[in-house]
Amino acid sequence: MALSLQQKITDPRQGVYLIGTTPPKATTPADKTARIAQKLLSRLNEIEYDGLIVYDIQDESSRVTVERPFPFHSTLDPREYSCLLQQLSQQEIITYKSVAQRDADAFGQWLTQTAQTYKLQNLVLVGSPSSNGEIKLSLPLAYQQLAEHPAQFYLGGVAIAERHAKKGNEHLRLIDKSAQGCEFFISQAVYNAQATIDLLTSYARSCKQQGLRPKRIILTFTPCGGEQTLTFMQWLGISVPEGSQYRILDAENPLNESIKICRDNLQQILQHCAKLEIPLGLNVESLTNRREEIDASIRLFRLLKAMMELHLAEKEVA
Amino acid sequence: MALSLQQKITDPRQGVYLIGTTPPKATTPADKTARIAQKLLSRLNEIEYDGLIVYDIQDESSRVTVERPFPFHSTLDPREYSCLLQQLSQQEIITYKSVAQRDADAFGQWLTQTAQTYKLQNLVLVGSPSSNGEIKLSLPLAYQQLAEHPAQFYLGGVAIAERHAKKGNEHLRLIDKSAQGCEFFISQAVYNAQATIDLLTSYARSCKQQGLRPKRIILTFTPCGGEQTLTFMQWLGISVPEGSQYRILDAENPLNESIKICRDNLQQILQHCAKLEIPLGLNVESLTNRREEIDASIRLFRLLKAMMELHLAEKEVA
C-alpha cells in the first residue's frame, strides 16, 4: 500500500505533489462531465501525483474594478466533480470551499452532505475574496463549525505571499489558522519567488519563537502561454515581476519560457529555504483549458517534482 | 490507470524505475517467506517504482577460483517469490532465469508453468556464468524456444559493460539479442561509469548504422557498505575503479559515500549519453540483506530517480 495523502503531508521526509483543476461549467451535462474528467485523468497517466485539488471558483468581480479577462462562468458543485474524480481515479481529492456566501446553517448542512453524500474528507476553506462583498459566514466561524462537526475532516488553508508582501502578517495568519485546525496550506500561483521566500522565512521564524512545528506549505505553480493568461493571472492577484512578464511575452516559446521561470523560482526558493525545516509541496494547475497549457502543466509538474525530489534525496545523504 | 511497465519501457519519454531483489533461502518456510516479502514491500512504500526484479542466483563457483565472500545458498524458485510479490504488491515483476543447467525439454515445461501456474510474463534469460561449466541449453536456443512458445512473454536480456571493456563486442551482442526477441536490457551494477558510457555509445552508434531503434537499457546501481560487500561486488565481476574503492573504504560513512559515487557516475553517464537517444532506466538493488544496506538502497533509488526524471523533464522544455 502506498502512503496516503495525509501520511505524506505529515511526514517531512516526503514530498507532496498535487494537480489543481476546476470543475466544468454549471451547464455541462453529466456524460460530458464524465468525459472531461476521464480526459484529464488520461493525460495525467504519464505522471505520478499524490492527489487532485478541485477549486471553488467564485465571481470575484467585487474584488477589483478591472474587467475579468476570461468571462466568469459558474461551475458545477466542486464536490460533485471531486466525487467523480475520486471514483474514476482512486486518487485522493482536496476540495476548496468558499464560505462567505451562505450562513452558518447552510454551511452545517454543506459539511454533513460533503461527508455523507460526497464522501470527501480533505477540505480547504476560503474566506471572502474582498472585504467589500457581503460576508454571511466568516472564515473563523466556519473553522469552528468544521471542528465541532461530527465528521472527521482533514483541513487546509490558503497562503498568499502577495498579501504578506503588502501587509507583512500572512505568517501570523498561518499560525492562527493552524490553531483553528489547518494541517497544511496551499499557496496562490508563485511567480514572485522573493515574496514566497519572505513569507516562508517569517513563518519558520515565528514558529520557532513560539515552539511550533511548521505545517506543510504546498506551492502552486502554473504555466503561462502569453498575454491573455498573464493578464488573467494579474487579475487573480498573482504578482508577476516585470522581468518575468517580458521574459514570457518576448519569448519564441512563451509556454516553455514560463516553465523555465517557474523552475528558476523553485530553485531559488529551495536554496533560500533549505534550512527552514518547513515541509514543502507542489501543486501544478493550468489556468485555462487550452490543450497546450494543459500539456505544459504536465511538463511543468514533472520538472518541478524532479527538482524537489532531488532536493529531498540530496538532504538524506548529506 | 497508470502506464504499464511495458508501456513505460516502450515510451522513450518515460523513465523506468525498478527495484532488484533475491528470493529467500530455499529452506525458508512459506509463512516466513510471506513475512520477508511484506517487509520488503512495506519499506518500498515510501518510494514510487514501476516494478520489481527477482534474480535467479546460481552457484557461480565454476566462474572464478576466488572464494565467494558470502557463502552460496540456493534460493526458493524465483518464480514462486515473483508470484508472491506480484500478488502482495500489485506491481509488475521481471523474473530472471538462468537457462544453462537444464535441457530444452525441461525449459519448455518451465515456460509453460511460468505462464500458467505463476502467471508471470516478464523474463530475463541469462546464459551460463562461464564457458567452463556444462551447458545443457544455450542462450540462443532458449530464446528461440521462448519465441515459439504459445504464451506471450515480454523478454529482456543482460548487458555487461565489463564484458565490453574486455572484448569490445557487447554492443553487437545486444543487437543480436534484440533480433532474438529482447525488448530491453538490464545492466550489471554500475561502478565504472566509463565502461557503461563506452558500451552505450558503441551500441547507439551501431544501431544508427544499421537503422535500428535502440532498446531501453536499465542501469543497475547498488550501495556498498564496506570491505566485505566491495569484495563480493568484485567477485561478481563488477568493476570498481581504484579511486572509488578508496573513496568508500576511507569514508566516515561508506554507505552514503557509495551513494554519492553512484550519483556522480549517473551524472557522468547522463551527460555523456544525452544525445544518444537510448532510453535509459534504473534498477536499484541491495546486495546484502543488512538493514542499513537496504535503507541505503532506498535513499539511492530516490536520488537517482530524481536525477533521471530531472534530466528527462529538462529535455522536454529545452
CB spacing of A317 vs B260 below 8 angstroms: yes
Mutate to test the interface with A, among B310, B311, B312, B315 (most CBs of A within 10 A): B310
| Intervals of chain A under pLDDT 70 | 1, 62, 131-132
Write down the pLDDT at residue B85.
97
Which residue in B has a C-alpha nearest to residue A300's C-alpha? B313
Identify the pLDDT of residue A73: 83
Q: Where are the alpha helices (DSSP H) in B210-253?
A: 227-235, 242-249
Distance between CA atoms of residues B255 and B273, nearest Å: 27
- Closest partner residue to B14 among A46, A260, A310, by Cβ? A46
Q: Please choose, from the candidates B186, B187, B189, B107, the residue with its C-alpha nearest in 3D space to the C-alpha of residue B140.
A: B107
A161 vs A195: CA distance, rounded Å = 5
C-alpha to C-alpha distances, B146 to A15, B124, B141, nearest whole angstrom = 43, 11, 9
Contact (Cβ atoms closer than 8 angstroms) between residue A78 and residue A95: yes
Largest interatomic CA distance in chain B:
55
Give the cell for residue B129: 556464468
pLDDT, tens digit, for every residue of A15-49? 999 999 999 999 999 999 999 999 999 999 999 99
How far is the C-alpha of B8 from the C-alpha of B166, rounded, in Å?
Answer: 32
In order along its 318 residues, chain B shows pLDDT tens digits of 678 999 999 999 999 999 999 999 999 999 999 999 999 999 999 999 999 999 998 877 767 777 888 888 899 999 999 999 999 999 999 999 999 999 999 999 999 999 999 999 999 999 987 766 789 999 999 999 999 999 999 999 999 999 999 999 999 999 999 999 999 999 999 999 999 999 999 999 999 999 999 999 999 999 999 999 999 999 999 999 999 999 999 999 999 999 999 999 999 999 999 999 999 999 999 988 788 999 999 999 999 999 999 999 999 998
Residues of A with CB under 8 A from a CB of B: 1-3, 11, 13-14, 45-46, 48, 256, 259-260, 263, 299, 302-303, 305-307, 309-310, 312-314, 316-317
Q: Provide the CATH number for the domain around residue A240.
A: 3.20.20.220
Distance from CA of B149 to the nearest CA of A (A): 32
Whole-number pLDDT of residue A108? 97
Which grid coordinates are listed for A97?
Answer: 470551499
Which of A45, A310, A316 comes nearest B307 by C-beta? A310
SS3 A20: strand
Domain that holds residue A301: 5-317
Dihedral angle over CA of B203, B206, B210, B211, nearest 10: 60
Chain B residues with CB-CB distance to A under 8 A?
1-3, 11, 13-14, 45-46, 48, 256, 259-260, 263, 299, 302-303, 305-307, 309-310, 312-314, 316-317
Question: What is the ipTM for the molecules in this complex?
Answer: 0.89
Number of separate domains in chain B:
1
**CB-CB under 8 Å, B305 with A309:** yes
Tell me the three cell numbers of residue A35: 468525459
Question: Which of A263, A310, A317 has its CB closest to that of B259?
Answer: A317
3-state secondary structure A241-298: CHHHHHHHHCCCCHHHHHHHHHHHHHHHHHHHHCCCCCCEEEEEECCCCCHHHHHHHH
Instruction: List, for residues A110-121, the tens digit of each pLDDT value.
Output: 999 999 999 999
What are the distances in angstroms from CA A299 to CA A35, B6, B63, B138, B296?
23, 22, 47, 45, 30
